[in-house]
Structure 1
Amino acid sequence: MTSTSRPAWIEPPNPLVTAVKGILIGLILLVMIYPLAYVILNSFAAPEATTSAGLIPSEWSFSAYTTIFEGGVVLRSMIVSTVITLVGTALSLAVTATLAYGLTKTRQLPGVRAALYLVLLTMIFSAGIIPNYLVVKAFGLLDSYWALIVPVLASAFNVVVMRNFFMQLPRELFEAARMDGAGELSIFLKIVLPLSKAVLAVIGLFYAVSYWNSFFNAMLYLNDSSKWPIQLVLNSYVLQGSAMSSMNNTDMYNLPSSQAVQMAVVVMATVPILIVYPFLQKYFTKGVLTGAIKG
């Protein structure tokens, strides 16, 4: 029996079933890829060519991207979203990893199990919009970028996943490090984190996507349009069709209400975060499944 032969207890695949599966997978891919391809291709269409409903425009042009970059609103909102995503993801990873490692000490430290129950409780019950708004207002975070970071700094789900991953690391390494005189901080920084690159990459991607797509919190806490992230600008221009004001709120201008410009704004808000996925795809199975199986 060759290495590529099928084991005797596994029946050979049915050609009809295989064909049906292939057709279904092809249809699913078409449904998922077609809208994205339509948006990207039509963002390069000339203004007079966007009235047609075809996938490929009849005339090509970079005028839509030239328009949105000359206006400055989209570019400014992209910078805002990028800074919020980078800073928020870094802080969230630091808080989540530290909290998750502390919650692994349920047998060593008193009160850790109670803290774990409190974290799990937040997965079931959460405060409403009004209490969250009042807390943000009480801390003076309204119209501040910190209002988009601090209230969502740590996710209970991500803490639990990372804690379960930490629980499966070899205990022998920790014991050997303690025998060599290493403290908990050294163990955490030099042993736990280097061995947890997979789960850190996955959780970091979760946080990055959340911060990049932050829309409701920005709409709730940011009254100054000059501080709007890209998702709020996208909503204001594409969905509501409202005019964009300049960032200094003195000179007013309107982006032309063409389909190509709207598609270009959608591309600018969507494609950057999609680029990150291929680089972190290899960590997903190990990072998420390993952290969710046990604990």
Structure 2
Amino acid sequence: MEFKDYYAILGVAKDAELKEIKKAYRKLALEFHPDMNAADDAEEKFKEVAEAYEVLKDTEKRAEYDEIRKYGAGQKQGFTPPPGWQSESQHTHWDANSEDFSDFFNSVFSARRSRQQSHNDPFSQGYTRADYPMTGQDAELEVPIFLEDTLHSSAKTVEFMQSEVVNAQLVKKKKTLKVKIPQGVVDGQRIRLKGQGGKGSQGGENGDLYLHIRLVPHPLFDVQGHDLTMTLPLAPWEAILGTEITVPTLDGKVKMTVQPNSQTGQKLRIKGKGLKRKSGYGDLFAVLKIVNPPETDEKALTLWNELAKTSAFDPRKEWS
């Protein structure tokens, strides 16, 4: 008979606290439940997980198992209970139906047992397909958000496939939901909507819906943290003489002054016109770029020639 290492089955340490054991059990029970997993060995693994949890969830039962574990952990296939072990287990009570448990379980804990079920923990009430409470599956959904919509909270209608167990089969149906997107969301942010995921079965809770925020690329603005950057094109004479320009922002237009003798690559800051953050807003940075006219008429060409003759400016002076 094979020795059963219940700690290894649940993937927890031998000194694990009850909350760790319970968390591991719930995860594995959901993974291997026959209604959710079509693998040939899913039901056997599910029973093995249920058996391990049945023993480790109770302080008294766990203490007895820890004692016999010291005796038999190294025996593996050749395990037999120590002499007189059954008489030491007379007081033990089991919450779940044990007929489907392993030979190891029945050999070690084969003394008188009560089959009373616990009503405090739905995960301890057996594990048959008919009565096992199952938490619904979580759902993941990517939600595109325009930069303008991050400045305030907004309502958005989303659609996703909601899972549900019907007649012992996992089915998915389209669900439409109106959700509230909070102000100041950022790219990659994850928003949890409790109970809006897959439907639970047999009294189990619904799963959760997780919204993954993806900021839609903007034609004018690039995102850098909570700041925005944009390219501000200038005609050569605007850069030389200076000018006042109307600049678009996420929430309207503002006027800004470009100083004389401005250069390509210079950054001008427009305070508070970036994205929402915990306190206040980021800034908008306008990066100057001098752009030549695509076409030059006779009159303009004459002026450029005159400028070339009168100007002593040498842009390649550093080369000499």
Q: Give the alignment's TM-score, normalised by structure 1.
A: 0.23
Q: Of the two, which has the highest radius of gyration?
A: 2
Higher relative contact order (CA 8 A, sep 6+): 1
